[in-house]
A = this chain, B = another copy of it.
């Protein structure tokens, strides 16, 4: 395993999206010394089962278990997110402020909560704006280009169909702790079996790849190599 540590900035729409969608990956990264910053775009104000301050407290607890910092971005609140120049710029401002190596965001598939889709687009737009030096609204912060912009799927139904070459991350060594992280969101687990759903999904992604558990990331662009020795392992089991 490589020794180089990375700086992560991870966006989610609601207080539990990140933990469910890529929590195991973040634990794997934290365990090798990477720095993780979470940026949550609402406090789950529309949820059926908890008040926003409870949701925020759960997310802060989960972030602590992840070894991550967490902040809440004010973009209008749960179910009130919108793609707008102001929101694109707000996301770009966080990217410039934190200067991550890796940006993680939800995928943009339509078949999921509309806030997930909107945060996906805000991150795509924000990552571009973070690079454009001339943008007056962001002039106080130097431009920044991330090294990797990858996406995660919060629910199985939002996994991009027919995506060849996706990245599976082995999270076998972190699965127990990942369950603990997800279980921080107790208010959300009263009516939906999210933890079982996510572990069944990680089990399937792992077994297909010959390991115990895996979570997937989707590239938003191509890769560039000097030699095929630079490629990660290919999955060819079944």
Task: Say whether A214 contacts B204, CB under 8 Å.
Answer: no
**How many residues in A have their beta carbons less than 8 Å from beta carbons of B?**
103
Q: How many copies of the shown chain assemble into the complex?
A: 6
Say if the beta carbon of A45 comes within 8 Å of chain B.
yes
Say if the beta carbon of A64 comes within 8 Å of chain B.
no
Partner-contacting stretch, out of A65-73, A155-163, A176-184: A155-163
A28: nearest chain-B partner, CB-CB: B227
Contact of A128 (CB < 8 Å), options: B114, B204, B211: B114
CB distance from A194 to the nearest CB of B (A): 8
**Interchain CA distance A99-B152 in the complex, whole Å:** 34
CB distance from A118 to the nearest CB of B (A): 10
Contacts of A49 in B (CB 8 A): 133-134
**Interchain CA distance A23-B31 in the complex, whole Å:** 41
- Known contacts A45-B134, A47-B134; is-contact A164 B227 (Cβ 8 Å): no
Would you list which residues of chain A between 124 and 164 have a CB under 8 Å from chain B?
A: 124-125, 128-129, 131-136, 143, 145-150, 155-157, 161-164
- Known contacts A161-B162, A227-B1, A235-B222; is-contact A197 B208 (Cβ 8 Å): yes
Task: Say whether B82 contacts A84, CB under 8 Å.
Answer: yes
Task: Say whether B164 contacts A218, CB under 8 Å.
Answer: yes
Contact of A46 (CB < 8 Å), options: B132, B145, B207: B132
A51: nearest chain-B partner, CB-CB: B134
Task: Say whether B170 contacts A225, CB under 8 Å.
Answer: yes
- Known contacts A85-B76, A135-B79, A200-B204; is-contact A232 B236 (Cβ 8 Å): no
CB distance from A94 to the nearest CB of B (A): 16
Contacts of A222 in B (CB 8 A): 164-168, 209, 216, 234-235
Task: Say whether A219 contacts B164, CB under 8 Å.
Answer: yes
CB distance from A160 to the nearest CB of B (A): 8
CB pairs A–B below 8 angstroms (14 shown)? A108-B110, A114-B128, A157-B238, A165-B222, A167-B224, A169-B228, A192-B237, A197-B208, A204-B204, A209-B224, A216-B222, A221-B235, A221-B236, A223-B235
